[in-house]
Amino acid sequence: MKKREKLKVEIGKELKLGTEQMTTREEMLELLKKYDKYILEYPEELSGYGNRSVVEEALGLYQLALNDLNRVTDMAPTLHRGWLNKGLVMLRLGRLKEGWQYYEWRRGMVIDNNDFPQKTAEIGLPYWSGEKTTENQKLFVYAEQGMGDNIQFFRFILEAKKKGEHLSVLNKVELDTLLRYNLEKNGIEIFENGAKLTGDIRYFVFSMSLPYCMKIDSLEKIPYTSKYLDTPPQFKEKWEKKLRYTKKKKIGIFWTSDSEHKKSRFRNVPFEKIKKLFPLDAKFHCLQKNISEEDRQAGEKVKNLYFWDTELEDFSDTAALIDQMDMIITVDTSIAHLAGALGKPTWIMLAYHPDFRWLLDREDSPWYDSVKLFRQNENYEWDSVIEKIKDELKKII
């Protein structure tokens, strides 16, 4: 019996490592076979079903993934990760009511640098579930997770204000200048970083819980799908002076993020691929704050590619540079959300298995009217995406 248990653990670790490193469809299919065999041998092992669902999702087999996650939540009804992963599949399928409900399970977990239970204990206020607020019973909104998440879900802060809620909002430090300007413009109170909670704050909510609490349970109910962010005027003026007038199209471009996000290996486009766009008769402006030395050296040989990384000191700088562009082409990163929130025509290059917010099998987005989606095929290759973008660009340049 001990030998069987030891073997189960060893094989399980090896399979999980493979799941974390897989990049091609062939690797995914091979892993799926191994997981099938593993689960036949060890049907009692919870992780087998959970990890197999990751491979199934990567292959676009979402119903099979849900079946495995249902098995997980049946076997372990209090396992937060199982319910959270079910929620992410539901959201990707456009089933917002169930998706947001299950997404709330994240509040009992640590996700990347977000320790939700610890932060909940620190704040020590009742969690908001949609109660009407007053000037004497405000709602404290705590920004969570990534920059793109904060930009995308900022719309729900505006919606809550529109519905008469009294809010006090804590921004991510990196986004504070940009979002502070937009909060002040909309008459929404800013909670200063490092300040103590005051007696007039009655409830708190993590920012990505807002659609659940506000019952945004269908794609049609998503508010603020057109421009909802403005660039602070001083940054706008600064960047208007930096860029010379040209008759050629100015295209902001972002091909690779240095983020440590586990999906970055799928999201990023190699310079060797993206450079196929540069022979077109346009001016390309790199929106990246961080650029590898290899990409910089290759990019400096391209006459119509301009780097601004040393001058992008704040997200408001990036917003102002985006304002100066005719359009944006980007991978799935915070820049995609920033450009969409600014109402800029934005083309987003997506992996075959995309993040939940981009849904499936569509070229438009219910989140941003100005966005067009360019998706990989099932082989996870960028060549067809780049070719399609190149063809589309030729029509408008």
For the chain, what's the residue count?
A: 397
Reduce the secondary structure of 200-238 to three states and give it as a string: CEEEEEEHHHHHHHCCCCCHHHCCCCCCCCCCCHHHHHH
User: At residue 338, what is the residue type?
Assistant: L
Cβ-based burial of 304 (10 A; exposed 0-12, middle 13-18, buried ≥19): middle
* Per-residue pLDDT, 7: 72
* Per-residue pLDDT, 257: 85
User: 32: how many CB neighbours lie within 10 A of its CB?
Assistant: 17
Q: Over the stretch 166-209, which tens digit does the pLDDT of each residue have? A: 999 999 999 999 999 999 999 999 999 999 999 999 999 999 99
Mean pLDDT of 102-130: 95
* Per-residue pLDDT, 8: 78
Sketch out the chain's domains with CATH numbers.
2-77 (1.25.40), 114-221 (3.40.50), 233-396 (3.40.50.2000)
The C-alpha atoms of residue 16 and residue 239 are separated, in whole angstroms, by: 47
**In this structure, are residues 71 and 339 in contact, taking their beta carbons and an 8 Å threshold?**
no
What mean pLDDT is reported for the chain? Answer: 95
Place of tokens 């009992």: 108
User: At residue 278, what is the residue type?
Assistant: F
Q: Over the stretch 3-23, which tens digit does the pLDDT of each residue have? A: 777 777 888 888 899 899 999
* Per-residue pLDDT, 261: 63
| 390, two tokens | 């190149």
| Helix, strand, or coil (residue 232) | coil
Pairing of β 283-286 and β 189-190: unpaired
Read off the pTM. Answer: 0.95
**In this structure, are residues 46 and 55 in contact, taking their beta carbons and an 8 Å threshold?**
no
Mean pLDDT of 142-163: 97
The C-alpha atoms of residue 134 and residue 166 are separated, in whole angstroms, by: 6
To the nearest 10°, report the CA torsion of 229, 232, 237, 241.
Answer: -70
| 331, two tokens | 């991978």
The C-alpha atoms of residue 352 and residue 381 are separated, in whole angstroms, by: 9
User: 194: how many CB neighbours lie within 10 A of its CB?
Assistant: 6
Mean pLDDT of 268-272: 96
* Per-residue pLDDT, 84: 97
Backbone angles phi, psi at 167, to 5 degrees: -120, 155
Starting at the earlier edge strand, list the strands of the sheet with 305-307: 305-307, 283-286, 250-254, 327-331, 346-350, 371-375
Confidence tier at 113 by pLDDT (50, 70, 90): confident
Residue 304's H or E segment, with its range, is none
Among 3-12, 181-190, 291-300, 340-349, name the one with the lowest average pLDDT: 3-12
Task: For residue 203, give Cα distances in angstroms to 61, 198, 381.
Answer: 40, 11, 46
Confidence tier at 260 by pLDDT (50, 70, 90): low
Q: Over the stretch 71-83, which tens digit does the pLDDT of each residue have? A: 999 999 999 999 9
User: 179: how many CB neighbours lie within 10 A of its CB?
Assistant: 23
pLDDT of 116 > 90? The answer is: yes
pLDDT of 96 > 70? The answer is: yes
* Per-residue pLDDT, 263: 73
pLDDT of 37 > 80? The answer is: yes
pLDDT of 390 > 70? The answer is: yes
- Residues in CB range of 396: below 8 A, 6 or more apart: 249
Residue (of 239, 227, 236, 261) closest to 341 by Cα position: 227
